[in-house]
Structure 1
Amino acid sequence: MAATPSSRMTVIVAGAGIVGSACAYFLGQAGAQVHLLDASAPAAEASGAADGAVSVASKRPGPLMTAALSGIALYRELEESGPLSGLFHRRSTFIVAASEDEQKVLETHATALADAGVVITAIAGDDIPRRFPALSRAASLIIEVQGEGHAIGYQVVHRLIAASGATVHRSTPVTRLVPDRSGTRLAGVETPAGFLGADAVVLATGNGSSALLGLADVLTPRKGQLLITERDPALNAAMPGSIMSGRYLLSKGSQKTASAAPAPAGPARGFGLVIDPLRTGQFLIGGTREDHGNKQETDLSAVSRILADAVALVPDLARLRLLRSFAGARAAVRDGLPLVGRLPGLSNAVVATGFEGDGICLGPVMGRAVARLLLDKEPGLDLAPFAPNRFQSSGDAA
């Protein structure tokens, strides 16, 4: 049994990304004393390099789609109630098919979204140039996914931390989990600064979770490369929301019956395409999904491929200068679902990691679910599909 809020429960939350900061916020709101630890600084890793899409558009039917719908609803609630006021911007996502194969995939995916209760609208024929004059003539079908939004990850992280009342420990990685004498609970964690004790521990350490939990065969860093262009207010205004190519669904594995377009020579990696008109008048363009190479570096072949795909879909992007390319390493689980739940054999320890590119959407709702678990409340989501022990039957540690 976890300590009750009235007893001033002390919790260590390791990992100050969007999941960890959300967990700290909801625990703090319940009266807990929170120590938020990070190996570097808040939002220094994947949360700071996220594309900001609070979206269900690319989710395949199942637990991730269900969680994403709850995640979007929670963003709306937090925007209205104050902690994220002005940070969550509501908009649609537009998935675009520009080939026969992409149109088939998109039609199937649109049916799945509609069956899950997502509000969608099909745009075809003469309506495409009327609604999207910036799109290539190759665009044959657009599915508008309504009720979504955008939030900048590092801004969300810093706002939640400020509202949490947590004590933030920067440059403080967790080096070891320390069990108590019973072996059924954690007494606390070891850090380079020494031992830190607590009533409960949350591991939201992203790629750092692998070494702490022995999950090298389950959890892997997945690199993504993104680009930022210069401003073009007129072109930006001609795009009413984020554009997602049908190829993005293929690169993410939403449709297992089709294969992504071949990549350039070299190590295999997936290419999708998202073109996001930012409020600054710039464009965020991505990206890749790759399990190899330096996780912080971009490369010319990938950047060239992303730009070529973007210009093929939105030709006027060709006149803009590329200002910056950057990469982030997202923690990915081999079956495509995150690890969220109590650590096996440890009643006061919870893990929340492996969200890959879905962390920006799922971070707040999963942080709330983890906080509720520690407070012995219903998490508000079915966490069974994300159970950390689901790989144990195959001999993996979890």
Structure 2
Amino acid sequence: MRRADQCIAQEKRWSADNYASLPVVLSRGLGAEAWDIEGKRYLDFMGAYSAANLGHCHPRIVRALTEQACTLGVVSRAFHNDKLGAFLQKACETTGMDRALPMNSGAEAVETALKAARKWAYEVKGVPDGKAEIICCARNFHGRTTGVISMSSSDRARAGYGPYLGGFRNIPFGDADALAAAIGPHTAAFLVEPIQGEAGIIVPPPGYLRACADLCRRHNVLFIADEIQTGLGRAGHVLACQEDDARPDGVVLGKALGGGMVPVSLFLARRDVMDVFRPGDHGSTFGGYPLAAAVGHEALCVMEDEQLCQRSRETGGALKAGLQAVAGDALRDVRGRGLMIGVELAGADAPAGRLAHALLERGVLCKNVDEHTIRLAPPLNIPPALVEEFLHVFAHELTRL
């Protein structure tokens, strides 16, 4: 039996069956390339769902992690540490927010945003206790915790996990008029992905986010952007909201914040929102621990120093142009911003999964986001030569579908 087969069999034997992983066992990565346990090389066009924006094993992230790991790991927030303040300052200055609350996973940071919005509604806006409502969009994806799936419109995400939390209202994505109609006196916040990822890389109409932000400001409703996938350069800006000149009241960050090494997330907001939290209200043992803070700070510095937002826009533009050039009748749409791109295939026979497997055989890591759409999200610092290599492979496999 091959080593890869042994690893897959062992994982299947001992793991819950909660992922449909492609049949490859990765063991090493560097930049935008990865190698499996048998030594085969791959181009990484998955980017770990945007967690690997800086690529694999970025030397500055490795150095920050190893130096901190040899100094101090975790002490909990029962004590101060010498890394957290600098990390939070850098994150706030980078995003234009006033304060930040560190967590670990993206879903935890979303839950933090929900708690903050509700408490702000009661203590600042004056909504009657227990009546706060949060508006979100149909086909959203904000995580998989019980509170977060209560916002979901997906039967697959919700089935078998009820009863669900109340106080959420779904509206169509990309429709500012729907938001205007949904806002009421008890509305605490509007939580939105600037680009819907799991729905198929759905980009809203120009001006949508700005219109929503303006509506929220007019009605004293918090505009909270879930930038876990779209932020930190993935869509071409520090925050994808900036494409629309929309300023959020709160932001959720994760994934790329950990530099491809450790889970780090933040909820950032203006001061009056964050001031609703008092000691003991919310927290996490590992949230903001020294290792995460050191890595998170360095990840933000690398993004800035290597001009990854600009590189994302430039490389993403070249990638989209290359995809459109080979499209023909096989592609229905190529959409996205920066290096967050969805390639929708034509045809009624759900070909996206087959194409992902075919690309894997040819040494490209990517995955379908639905039956017809392939998600492309390589590291933001991917060299142009690797983009050209990918386009050559993609064009060849497209003709074989």
| TM-score calculated relative to the size of structure 1 | 0.26
Which of the pair is proportionally richer in helix? Answer: 2
Which of the pair is proportionally richer in strand? Answer: 1
